[in-house]
Amino acid sequence: MDFKRSDFPESFLFGAATAAYQIEGHQFGGAGPTHWDTFAAGTGNVVRAEDGAVACDHYHRFAEDLDLLKDAGMDAYRFSTSWARVMPDGRTPNAEGLDYYDRLVDAMLERGLKPFQTLYHWELPAALADKGGWMNRDTCDYFGDFTDVITDRIGDRVAAIATINEPWCISYLSHFLGHHAPGLKDIRATARAMHHINLAHGIGMTRLRAKGMKNCGVVLNFDHTEPQDDSPSAAKAATTWDAIMNRWFIEAITKGTYPAEALAGLAPHMPAGWADDKGKDRQPKAFHSVNKNTRPKISAEDTGVRTQMTSAEGPGDKTQMGWEMYPDGLRSFLPRLSRDYIGDMPIYVTENGMAWDDRVENGAVYDPERIQFVSDHIAATKKAIDEGANVQGFFYWSLLDNYEWAFGYEKRFGMIHVDFETLKRTPKASYHALKAAIAR
Ligand code: FCB
């Protein structure tokens, strides 16, 4: 890789990220069913109908995984705490689940790794999905209670806490585009989820602050959107897409408003009284986190009844996901975030990575494409810092090959290969390259 640690400020953190349902093995430790188990069991939702029952069995193998993280010279580990493990029915604490996160955090500290916790990374307890999930306003209060329970147990030892991972994916991608659990294509459900997820963030943040937690934030995913062509309709569609994906959540959180371009379509479907919540999702934070992967090109399709937006990938080289590799998107977005929304507040790149069809040959995985990808994105992060963004850390997605949601175990994002038959871990060439760069 072309960079060295000394290119960055001394306090800059290098780490890797994972999420509970994607790695832990959800069948272990008394966790309750989640809406991802429901979604996976349906027809045609997930490749081969795979679920997270065993995943990487990180639940039993976390010591080995944290050793690998430490041996790479990493400073921090971004992990998430499964709501359904901590509270199997969404409401009642599970001692076994709490003990597990206790051991996990201690194991990080024993290895000198800073624990970066995400409270909610998508596995909604099925019992709450039965009550309407994110369409139900009560879920926001229940999320607050979950925040209290897990923070009472591990909050004294974590270095940072993010409330929610990627509100756009939880709401729009899952309730309007139907790609993720609960797999809906329902604009009324979408409008509710888009509002409630902001409210849940605000409630979670209030609970954290009441406990004196300092380093709290949220993880948002942004994509650098561009019109597909020069037409006025594509320009308008790109602006609308940007408002829904990039502005809806950050503006609610920092300004207490929703962008007019997004409300134009969503307002008729919003829950009653939504405007009175204005400001409840506006909470002071210590940091913002950005997940960044690709560059959608947006166009408008005239159906004859109404105009609808479509998103396609840009022209550059693609990853195994079919996503365009576009490091300049990260370079341009980080300063935009500082300039337009958060000023000097610290930012962490909490996820950046690529999937590739990696294979073990002679005991090793050769992945030069990923080495280039990481090198380019870390260089883009450096440029963003030079342009004024207060970026304080970079987490590769992901530490391990894992359960990639609707793609099952087919897409490999890890810097460590996992054989899903034997669960053997094999660090890839990119792991070794990143380790060498961090040591320089
Ligand atoms: C992000 C998710 C993460 C992973 C990567 C590829 O949107 O937060 O869980 O699936 O994409």
Residue 170 corresponds to which amino acid?
A: I
> What digits encode the pLDDT tens for the residues 239-271?
999 999 999 999 999 999 999 999 999 999 999
> What digits encode the pLDDT tens for the residues 7-61?
999 999 999 999 999 999 999 999 999 999 999 999 999 999 999 999 999 999 9
Cβ proximity of 168 and 221 under 8 Å: yes
Instruction: Give the distance (Å) from ligand 1 centre to CA of residue 272.
Output: 32
Whether residue 291 has pLDDT greater than 90: no
- Report how far apart the first and last C-alpha atoms of the chain are (Å, whole number): 11
Neighbours of 152 (CB within 10 A): 12
Distance, in Å, from the CA atom of 145 to the CA atom of 141, rounded to the nearest integer, reads 6
Residue 27 corresponds to which amino acid?
A: Q
Whether residue 158 has pLDDT greater than 80: yes
Whether residue 359 has pLDDT greater than 90: yes
Residue 365 β-bridge partners: 428
Residue 280 pLDDT = 74
Q: What percent of the chain has pLDDT over 90?
A: 90
Residue 90 pLDDT = 98
- The answer, yes or no, to whether any atom of ligand 1 lies below 6 A from the CB of 50, is no
Beta-strand relationship, 76-80 and 13-17:
parallel
Q: Higher model confidence: residue 337 or residue 292?
A: 337
In which region does residue 49 sit, left (phi positive, over 0), alpha (psi from -120 to 50) or beta (all else)?
left
- The answer, yes or no, to whether any atom of ligand 1 lies below 6 A from the CB of 354, is no
Residue 344 pLDDT = 92
Whether residue 293 has pLDDT greater than 90: no
Cβ proximity of 350 and 293 under 8 Å: no
| DSSP secondary structure, 210-271, as one string | HTT--SEEEEEE----EESSS-HHHHHHHHHHHIIIIIHHHHHHHHS---HHHHHHHGGGSP
Distance, in Å, from the CA atom of 286 to the CA atom of 221, rounded to the nearest integer, reads 18
Taking CA atoms only, the protein residue closest to ligand 1 atom 10 is 404
Taking CA atoms only, the protein residue closest to ligand 1 atom 4 is 404
> What digits encode the pLDDT tens for the residues 303-314?
777 778 889 988
Instruction: Give the distance (Å) from ligand 1 centre to CA of residue 323.
Output: 13
Catalytic site positions: 166, 351
Q: How confident is the model at residue 287 (pLDDT cuts 50, 70, 90)?
A: confident
Residue 16 β-bridge partners: 77, 396
Residue 116 pLDDT = 98
Q: How confident is the model at residue 281 (pLDDT cuts 50, 70, 90)?
A: confident
Whether residue 384 has pLDDT greater than 70: yes
Instruction: Give the distance (Å) from ligand 1 centre to CA of residue 42.
Output: 21
- The answer, yes or no, to whether any atom of ligand 1 lies below 6 A from the CB of 174, is no
CA-closest candidate to residue 425, choices 29, 12, 55: 55
The mean of the pLDDT values for the chain is 95
Cβ proximity of 109 and 49 under 8 Å: no
- The encoded tokens of residue 137 equal 């306003």
Instruction: Give the distance (Å) from ligand 1 centre to CA of residue 231.
Output: 32
Distance, in Å, from the CA atom of 369 to the CA atom of 121, rounded to the nearest integer, reads 27
- The encoded tokens of residue 241 equal 């897409």
Distance, in Å, from the CA atom of 265 to the CA atom of 275, rounded to the nearest integer, reads 16
- The encoded tokens of residue 385 equal 């810092």
Q: Tell me the H-state helices in 243-367.
A: 248-255, 260-266, 327-337
Three-class SS state of 423? coil
Whether residue 282 has pLDDT greater than 90: no
Cis peptide before 115 (omega within 30 of 0): no
Which atom in ligand 1 lies closest to the alpha carbon of residue 353?
6
DSSP character at residue 170: I
Beta-strand relationship, 226-227 and 287-291:
unpaired
Whether residue 278 has pLDDT greater than 90: no
> What digits encode the pLDDT tens for the residues 411-423?
999 999 999 999 9
Neighbours of 195 (CB within 10 A): 25
- The answer, yes or no, to whether any atom of ligand 1 lies below 6 A from the CB of 165, is yes
Tell me what the mean pLDDT of segment 137-157 comes to.
Answer: 98
Neighbours of 310 (CB within 10 A): 14
Cβ proximity of 316 and 234 under 8 Å: no
- The answer, yes or no, to whether any atom of ligand 1 lies below 6 A from the CB of 351, is yes
Residue 223 pLDDT = 86
Cβ proximity of 150 and 98 under 8 Å: yes
Residue 22 pLDDT = 98
- The answer, yes or no, to whether any atom of ligand 1 lies below 6 A from the CB of 413, is yes
Chain centre distance of CA 283: 20
Whether residue 285 has pLDDT greater than 70: no
Distance, in Å, from the CA atom of 135 to the CA atom of 192, rounded to the nearest integer, reads 5
> What digits encode the pLDDT tens for the residues 113-126?
999 999 999 999 99
Contacts of 323 (CB under 8 A, 6+ apart): 293, 294, 313, 354
Instruction: Give the distance (Å) from ligand 1 centre to CA of residue 230.
Output: 31
